[in-house]
Structure 1
Amino acid sequence: MPWLHSLLNQAPEIALFLSLAGGYWVGKFHFGKFQLGGVAGSLLVACVISQVGISIDSGVKSVLFALFIYAVGYESGPQFFRSLGRQSLREIAMAAVLALSGLATVVVLARMFGLDKGLAAGIAAGGLTQSAIIGTASAAIAKLGLAADEVQHLQANVAVGYAVTYIFGSFGAIIMCVNVLPWLTGRGIRDDAIEAQAALLAGSAVYGVGEQPALSDLVGRLFRIEQGGGQTIGKIEADGTITIERVKRNGATVGVGPGLALQAQDIVLVVGRRAGVVACAERLGPELPASDDMAITMVTRDIAIANKDFADQTIEQIRQATAGALRHGIYVVAVNRAGTALPLVPDTKIAAGDVVTLYGTAEDVQRAAKLVGTLILPSDKTDFVFHGLGLVVGLAIGLLVVRLGAIPLTLGSGGGALLSGLAFGWYRSRHVAIGNMPTAASTLLRDLGLAGFVAVVGLQSGRQAVTTIATSGVSIFLIGVAVTILPLLLTMLVGRYVLRYGNTAIFAGALAGSRSANPAFGEVLDKAGNSIPTVPFAITYALANVFLTLLGPLVVALA
């Protein structure tokens, strides 16, 4: 179809977005318990479209992947830095096990099937989806002291092995991490992700878009005063669980203050904790369904604690220090430190930079904010100054090269963007007035970045892979399948029975990172529905970039 070839080469972006649309459509289909998912679907559809013959700039792939991995790092920065230490030994072990098992698998199969050093290294690069192996292996081949034509032949075979095996290297990792791993553990990624998030949130419930609790902790009710006549507002509010926000007497609202004595037939609006408000019926009188001119607007706002008087104080100490007029009408909904909820118990100690969520009228919250710290106004705007700088820093870090002997080691643009995202995410957790990125924006960067990245990979490599399989037979492809599956399977068993991973979401993130399997990680995130798998992924991914890159010269030496 020459017209289609001409069209897609004039506008390769059409092929890219067609791959995304078709991939996510294909990814919705269920085959028993197996579902391909949008990322793997995009890769598959892109391979099909690539048969037309498409040229698409590699810069597009780099940009999309940088956006994806930066957003992932930004979301997980606070948790990542808290997780470093002895508790990361499991992730270090996992990355080492996968690299060693990958090396052993490639070397054994290369000797069994008589593969030359170039093909073996290319299969390692494609089957383990670590493109840096191409560079380190090619450099090692050049130092073997062979004739120039032989060196050129072996280096060309590196590219052939990579082209044939890379597609399944990406696809197979998705299957192992998203489908096989939950089967092995007997637990779902989504269920375990929710469980782990609940533990991080100190028991606080997490609600999705359009969800809310049927029994809210903070409520407002109208009462008509009968048995409560003669009591002052200050006395009624003494226990701190309720606030009388409005009083209507003889059809007109009156000023509210601690010394105001309520009279029979007054209508009052009571706001506060559910238990305290419900108990008001016995103290005040019957509840009313509605009354004109009694509606007020309540707000929920986050405030970063900056007042040094509150730092290193317990919740109980702060409560006592702010009793009276300052705390009137203010209810603490939650306290978060670096994205993690703190338990709202009396002995919890508050630190500078913690974020407290307050509920009350706009005037009351504003009054409290002036004393507590910086009010964080909700916004749907992204701070492009902050995040643009973050990407610049990450991409610059990716350009750095450190040589281990003759072996060049580099994080690359992906590793640099991940590291920068982690650092900028952590910094933002300490300085919440800058660096805003709404959840919807972050989700778009992750989904579009990853799916677009794998679609470009499919468009660039799909045709070459099919052609090579057709001319060279399927043996290289099948060896690549083994190199993809066996190290993942062995690492999975070690993680399950030796390292004792209990949470499948955390396990899946660590496994995907150990293989630097970005498409698989994207699908794990999609299944999890939250960022729980990201911290173990970030640790093992950073290690895998080093360990797997070192496999190039080792395969050349041993194959």
Structure 2
Amino acid sequence: MDVLALLDDPLILIFVILFLGSLLGQWSIKGVSLGLSGVLLVAMFFGHFGYGISPLIQNFGLSLFIVSVGLQAGPRFFRMMKSSGIVFGILATCIVVVAVITTVIVSYLLDLSAPLSIGLMTGALTSTPGLATGLEATNDPIVSVGYGIAYPFGVIAVVLFVQLFPKILKVDVEKDVDRKVRPGGKRGAPQSMTIKVESDAVHKKTLKELRLDRNNSVVISRVVRGERTFIGRNDTVVLKGDLLIAVGYLGDLRQLRDRIGSQVKGEVDYTDHLLLKRITVESQELVGKSLRELNLRATYGVTVTRIERGGFEFNQSATWRLEEGDILTVVGSEDHIQEIEKLFGKHEHEETNVHIMSLSLILLVGMFIGMIPISIPGFGTMTLGVAGGPLFVSILIGHFGRLGPIRARFYQPATRVIRDIGLVLFLAGAGTTAGEGLVTVVMEEGIRLVIGGAVITILPIFLGFFIAVKIFHLSILHSLGALCGGLTSTPGLGAVNSITERDDPAIAYAAAYPFALILVAIAAQILAVIL
């Protein structure tokens, strides 16, 4: 049997590329790996020898990938726009703007074509959505060549920077975080503190009358009085000598402690009929609703103290809109906890609970919007296209969670499955198409491509870090986390996490990432017009 002849079958070719690409992506050197971008490199190899993937498969994968990205970014994007986390959004914007300006300068100085320049920028920023948008905007497979050349350097440069720069500066990153406050005064993960009430000013006041301002993260989960324990409700009366079990960010907890009494160290010995339980959001009826709308304290007599999403833990917020798979830490009596478990749906997860009708409608509406011409004074007319249109619509619908019959929040592992399948199909198609001219382009452009990609990577890294530390006065860890988010570098975040056990970098990354994700895609379309 002729093995090479089997590759003429499109289905076999796809799975061979996916297998070899994922195998290559798993190889790690000093903790650095290509991940799913290994599929792109393998596909380019096959493309050089004349093998090709149908454009239909490529566009199908692109559509799935872009929509899953938008659905994941939507809930966080608009919430960050309204919160103190906007600082991280501004930082991500600065990084992308610097990258765009650098790309324009490099393009003119090195006389590179627009598709190659866009590919270098998206590779330097390790942004696959940017690659997708650039390919769609230019309709030129050479974009993938630029991406494939710049991507490895983009990954390695960020990882080396975040690991080496703190050592070069000789900064103790742990102490640096303690000295500096993240925007909004909230640092690290939510913590618990037991506070003894000693102030006459709060004696016989209700918890509501403590008047914690709306930006304060503290939640009083329990009030302990002798051998009795009360749930922390707005109408719960506080007396001198009571112990308050409070959950929140450390700065806010200390502020409350200094105002009403003193901290009780160690374990508190008391009889507690209240339970603390982690409950997973499973009910579709609750997806997209906020904690304020559910009003769990008044209706069910329970308090939500923390929320976990995607492996990250956050302090509860009344405006937080639920997604399927969110894990709530809830305090209440046993019978009330049981009611809450029924409310949120106490059953086994289904990994593939994707709502096909909703997914199809989002794609259709997005594609229609992507066809609408947008006039840019001085630059002509552009469209969002089959990448930008679905991205815009999925972000918008992802924010609300549900619009009429359209459901936009699926169980998170299911969304990741959609994203990864779409991504590898898109990369397989884009890679084989780009591989046809890979050797020719590299031989003609040579060292210019490597230099261009390096410059587009290095300048945003150093300028972004300078802006974070010197202008926004962020800690080193927050600066590095936001830098990785602004460069959409997940390997970079992994490198930051290797130098600290704190979750501050991950929080900064999560705040900056959605902004960069969207802005790079928009920047790729703008560059296609102006270069």
TM-score range, shorter chain: 0.5 to 0.7
Give me the whole-angstrom Cα distance separating, in 2, the residues matched to 1:312 and 1:441: 25
Match of 2:243 in 1: none
> Unpaired segments of 5 or more residues in structure 2?
123-130, 193-220, 232-265, 498-505
Name the SS of the counterpart of 1:175 in structure 2. helix
Q: Which amino acid aligns with 2:61?
A: L
Does structure 1 conserve the Cα–Cα contact (< 8 Å) formed by 2:484 and 2:493?
no
Q: Which amino acid aligns with 2:92?
A: E
Q: Residue 36 in 1 paired to residue 29 in 2?
A: no
Give me the whole-angstrom Cα distance separating, in 2, the residues matched to 1:437 and 1:89: 29
> Unpaired segments of 5 or more residues in structure 1?
111-118, 139-158, 205-217, 219-234, 242-273, 284-297, 513-520
Give me the whole-angstrom Cα distance separating, in 2, the residues matched to 1:17 and 1:27: 15
Q: Residue 511 in 1 paired to residue 487 in 2?
A: yes
Match of 1:101 in 2: 102
Match of 1:399 in 2: 371
Q: Residue 537 in 1 paired to residue 513 in 2?
A: yes
Give me the whole-angstrom Cα distance separating, in 1, the residues matched to 2:59 and 2:33: 24
Residue 163 to residue 414, structure 1, CA distance change in 2 (3 Å): closer
Name the SS of the counterpart of 1:239 in structure 2. strand
Name the SS of the counterpart of 1:300 in structure 2. strand
Give me the whole-angstrom Cα distance separating, in 2, the residues matched to 1:101 and 1:44: 25
Residue 338 to residue 428, structure 1, CA distance change in 2 (3 Å): farther
Match of 1:21 in 2: 19
Match of 1:9 in 2: 8
Does structure 2 conserve the Cα–Cα contact (< 8 Å) formed by 1:78 and 1:425?
yes
Match of 1:239 in 2: 229
Give me the whole-angstrom Cα distance separating, in 2, the residues matched to 1:552 and 1:37: 27
Q: Residue 445 in 1 paired to residue 418 in 2?
A: yes
Match of 1:92 in 2: 93
Give runs of aligned pairs for residues 115-514 of structure 1, distance below 5 A.
120-129=113-122, 162=143, 165-180=146-161, 182-184=163-165, 202-203=190-191, 238-240=228-230, 300=279, 302=281, 318=297, 327=301, 332=303, 334=305, 336=307, 343=315, 350=318, 358=330, 364-365=336-337, 367=339, 375-376=344-345, 379-380=349-350, 381-405=353-377, 407-428=380-401, 435-469=408-442, 474-500=443-469, 502=476, 503=478, 504-512=480-488
Does structure 2 conserve the Cα–Cα contact (< 8 Å) formed by 1:391 and 1:417?
yes
**Equivalent residues, number:** 411
Give me the whole-angstrom Cα distance separating, in 1, the residues matched to 2:138 and 2:71: 33
| Residue 446 of structure 1: how far off its partner (Å) | 2.6
Deviation sequence 1:478-531 (CA, Å, 0-9, x none): 21222222122111110011343743333122124xxxxxxxx57568879979
Name the SS of the counterpart of 1:38 in structure 2. coil
Q: Which amino acid aligns with 1:483?
A: G
Does structure 2 conserve the Cα–Cα contact (< 8 Å) formed by 1:126 and 1:166?
yes
Q: Normalised by the size of structure 1, how large is the TM-score?
A: 0.59
Does structure 1 conserve the Cα–Cα contact (< 8 Å) formed by 2:61 and 2:425?
yes
In terms of mean alpha carbon deviation, does 483-492 or 176-185 score higher?
176-185
Structure 1 counterpart of 2:59, from 57, 62, 65: 62
Residue 237 to residue 486, structure 1, CA distance change in 2 (3 Å): same
Name the SS of the counterpart of 2:229 in structure 1. coil
Q: Report the RMSD for the aligned CA atoms in angstroms.
A: 4.9
Give me the whole-angstrom Cα distance separating, in 2, the residues matched to 1:299 and 1:126: 45
Q: Which amino acid aligns with 2:28?
A: H
Q: Which amino acid aligns with 2:445?
A: I
Does structure 2 conserve the Cα–Cα contact (< 8 Å) formed by 1:79 and 1:338?
no
Deviation sequence 1:169-206 (CA, Å, 0-9, x none): 4444333445555544669xxx99xx99x9575349xx
Q: Which amino acid aligns with 1:425?
A: G
Larger radius of gyration: 1
Give me the whole-angstrom Cα distance separating, in 2, the residues matched to 1:480 and 1:439: 38
Give me the whole-angstrom Cα distance separating, in 2, the residues matched to 1:72 and 1:539: 12
Q: Residue 53 in 1 paired to residue 45 in 2?
A: no
Name the SS of the counterpart of 1:101 in structure 2. helix
Give me the whole-angstrom Cα distance separating, in 2, the residues matched to 1:434 and 1:131: 25
